[in-house]
Amino acid sequence: MKSAFEETKNENIPFSRTNPFQAKVLKNINLNGTGSNKETRHIELSLKGSGLTYVPGAALGVIPSNDPELVAALINEMKWDEEAIVTVGKQGETLSLKEALTSYFEITLLTKKILQQAAVFTENEELKNLVLVENAAKLKEYCYGRDLLDMLRDFGPWSASAQEIVSLLRKMTPRLYSIASSIAANPDEVHLTIGAVRYTAHGRERKGVCSVLCSERIKEGDTLPVYVQANKHFYLPESEDKDIIMVGPGTGIAPFRSFIQERAVNKVTGRSWLFFGDQHEASDFLYKSELEKYKEDGVLTRIDTAFSRDTDQKVYVQHKMLEHGKELYEWIEKGAYFYVCGDKEYMAKDVNEALITILEKEGSMARDAAEAYLKDMQKQGRYQRDVY
């Protein structure tokens, strides 16, 4: 006889952000070679039995849990009882304090609101001063790169219960990653390319919540709670004879691995050109042998790479674009789709600037005409960006 749990489990409730699927980890490997400054994980997850599907360009939402060491440090700092029961959420659900801090709350981000509300629980003059309206800029600066543990250490002693402190916190938000596989090439699977985020700030080592969970604590055979998130602004051309140009340095390669796999399965006639960049060719050329095989098989027409630390002058993907500006312009004029994935802050801006320069030079256009040309490409869905 089935238990009540199994009965509900099989009632075909679709998996979603609020009802994630526990996907089994099939593979978790470091793509970087020895001597690299980076750690990029290639993770393969099973979607068997989930009913989940996706198209190239989609993202996978992963619901992470916090670093047990950070949770322990918080409990220790406040001399809390980890087994104490706290109320979470609007429905009044209860969890042990340890569980709430591990899987329910966001503990690595500070906001103005958290500090403003926390100020009532301490006599600390520095915090009372920091949350004054005239110190808004200082408050913002304090929040940047700090977390809950910093706040509790910096502004005690506290006259708040564990419940009062956790009530200040936000619910854990899912992390979205561009899917790095095609379901047509890998039935019942989804692959991710995740760069581990680690840095030192304000005298402490900091770790990305989800990326370091994936690099340090999630092993093959474990499960991760996931759901599929569509991306209406990043997709392959409907017509299989269209050419595509893909610019994806570092983990920005992820959706393009999905594009290339999909086009290989569908044996498309359109050409494809990839620009990939990272620090060192020897240790940071992600998916190198796979990409070279696609090139050999004619699935990838061209690959141009930029390894910034292998030369005296730093060479990035936008420099490679400018170097091949003439051919790039010819591809675009013939109707190629242009895609960019990766860092919004610098790379995507530099790539956009390089595109404008190429249009000005090769198309003999004034700058405003080149910008209008790009805007028009965007309207037609021929210039797409997946940037973060």
What digits encode the pLDDT tens for the residues 10-26?
Answer: 456 899 999 999 999 99
What pLDDT is recorded for position 106? 98
Long-range CB contacts for residues 204-209, cutoff 8 Å, separation at least 24: 204/149, 204/150, 206/108, 206/145, 206/147, 207/67, 207/70, 209/64, 209/66, 209/67, 209/106, 209/108, 209/175
Distances (CA, A) of 238 to 72, 257, 268, 336: 51, 18, 11, 12
- Cα separation, 299 vs 290, in Å, equals 11
pLDDT score of 149 more than 90: yes
Which range among 7-16, 264-273, 344-353 shows the weakest confidence by mean pLDDT? 7-16
Hey, CA dihedral for 311, 313, 315, 320, is it positive or negative? negative
- Cα separation, 32 vs 36, in Å, equals 6
Residue 209: Cβ within 10 Å count: 21
Average pLDDT over residues 259-282: 97
Q: What integer best gives the mean pLDDT of the chain?
A: 95
Q: How confident is the model at residue 172 (pLDDT cuts 50, 70, 90)?
A: very high
- Cα separation, 171 vs 167, in Å, equals 10
What digits encode the pLDDT tens for the residues 87-136?
Answer: 998 888 999 999 999 999 999 999 999 999 999 999 999 999 999 999 99
What domains sit in the chain, N to C, each tagged with a CATH number?
Answer: 15-64+177-229 (2.40.30.10), 68-166 (1.20.990.10), 244-387 (3.40.50.80)
What pLDDT is recorded for position 8? 42
Q: How confident is the model at residue 318 (pLDDT cuts 50, 70, 90)?
A: very high
* CB of 221 closer than 8 Å to CB of 55: no
pTM confidence score: 0.93
Q: How confident is the model at residue 6 (pLDDT cuts 50, 70, 90)?
A: very low
What digits encode the pLDDT tens for the residues 209-222?
Answer: 999 999 999 999 99
Can you say how many angstroms the Cα of residue 114 is from the centroid of all Cα atoms in its chain?
25
Report phi then psi at 2, rounded to 5.
Answer: -80, 145
- Beta-carbon contacts of residue 175 (< 8 Å; ≥ 6 apart): 61, 62, 63, 64, 209, 210, 211
Can you say how many angstroms the Cα of residue 236 is from the centroid of all Cα atoms in its chain?
20
Distances (CA, A) of 74 to 79, 148, 165: 8, 8, 11
- Cα separation, 287 vs 246, in Å, equals 15
What pLDDT is recorded for position 4? 42
Nearest partner of 227 among 15, 42, 26, 10, judged by Cα: 15
Average pLDDT over residues 38-45: 98
pLDDT score of 260 more than 90: yes
What digits encode the pLDDT tens for the residues 292-316?
Answer: 999 999 999 999 999 999 998 999 9
Residue with the bigger pLDDT between 206 and 13: it is 206
**Which H or E element spans position 13?**
none
pLDDT score of 50 more than 60: yes
